[in-house]
Structure 1
Amino acid sequence: MFMSMDKAIGSASVRLSKKIARIVNHHLKEFNITTEQWAVLRTLYESGLITQKTLSERSDKDKATLTKILDLLEKHAYTERVQNPEDRRSFLIQITVKGSRLVEEVGPYLNEVYGEIIEGIDQEKLSLYQEVLTSLEHNIDTLLVYESNRKKE
């Protein structure tokens, strides 16, 4: 029986991504954050003080979505906006001490959750899976740049 690439790769990847988000969101509920908020917090924790544009790129969030996430994180005192000394019209984003403590608590906890997700899969298969994901992402990035350049012409 023939299975289209759309179903074999596209739909399967979307389905897996949604399931991972669902189980991670379930575990993050006790911390009162979502996977989307976690991705931004973790990125800030790793990056330090950065512009919203850089944060958007590093966390793979569009501007509108990131603004909503930052508003929520700021409301809970996990992040703060700081006036950019180089451009008074813009702000830099930084994680607070409270936000850093949350990342330090949630990070190891999520590692345990992911340990359960990958249980029974040997290291060789996981390494191959990561290689394939990296290759797919690279190919997609290349296609996006190509399409973006075509539109400019």
Structure 2
Amino acid sequence: MESYKELFNEYIKMYRPYINQLNALLVEFNLTTAQWSIMNFVFREGAKTIGDISLYQNVEKPTTTKLVQKLIELGYVEIYAGDDKRVKFVQLSNEGLAVYSKVRRKIDHFQNSLLEGISEDDRLIVVRILKGISDKIETYKG
């Protein structure tokens, strides 16, 4: 099999089981991977608008709005108005920060266990390759 086919086959083969395991870790916090991704993004980048989150997630604003609404219901995020009252920002609540810390520890443990025996150099190569492919997907015209 050509190497490009093998690369994408292995990625596809890995993706679903990884997401399933991640969802299993998140269930105790009533979170999905999409909701966790929002929490992680807001934690890393600071308060963001629904539009910012939608761009990051690469999903439509209504989908992001539903995900954020669920996070509000869980008490993990809160909304506040910016200087322009029409612009609303999403930030982690105090409870969200506490949950973020607990979830982050669980995910760190899970991810590190998956990478046992893989050198830092190899990890960085994979990161560089996946980032390059991701960048090309965004600009691919067919």
| Matching residue's letter, 1:43 | F
The answer for unaligned runs of 5 or more in structure 2 is none
Q: What's 2:52 paired with?
A: 54
The answer for unaligned runs of 5 or more in structure 1 is none
The percent of aligned pairs where both chains have the same amino acid is 22
Alpha-carbon deviation of 1:125? 2.0
Q: What's 1:135 paired with?
A: 132
Q: How does 1:25-104 map to 2 (within 5 A)?
A: 25-88=23-86, 90-104=87-101
Larger radius of gyration: 1
Cα shift readout 1:56-115 (whole Å, capped 9, x = no counterpart): 222333322211111110001111222333142x42211111111111121122110001
| Matching residue's letter, 1:27 | L
Decide whether aligned partners of structure 1 residues 41 and 134 sit closer, same or farther in structure 2, where only a CA change above 3 A counts: same
Matched, 1:115 2:135: no
Contact 1:80 1:96 in 2 (8 A): yes
| Matching residue's letter, 1:46 | R
Q: Number of paired residues?
A: 142
Q: What's 2:19 paired with?
A: 21
Distance in structure 2 (CA, Å) of the matches to 1:3 and 1:73: 43
Decide whether aligned partners of structure 1 residues 11 and 87 sit closer, same or farther in structure 2, where only a CA change above 3 A counts: farther
Distance in structure 1 (CA, Å) of the matches to 2:68 and 2:104: 19
Q: Structure 1 runs of 4+ off > 6 angstroms?
A: none
- Of stretches 102-111 and 12-21 in structure 1, the one that deviates more from structure 2 is 12-21
Distance in structure 1 (CA, Å) of the matches to 2:57 and 2:41: 6
Q: Pick from 99, 123, 137: which aligns with 1:126?
A: 123
Distance in structure 2 (CA, Å) of the matches to 1:41 and 1:130: 22
SS class of match (2:133): helix
Decide whether aligned partners of structure 1 residues 4 and 113 sit closer, same or farther in structure 2, where only a CA change above 3 A counts: closer
TM-score after normalising by structure 1: 0.80
Alpha-carbon deviation of 1:119? 1.9
| Matching residue's letter, 1:95 | L
TM-score after normalising by structure 2: 0.86
| Matching residue's letter, 1:60 | N
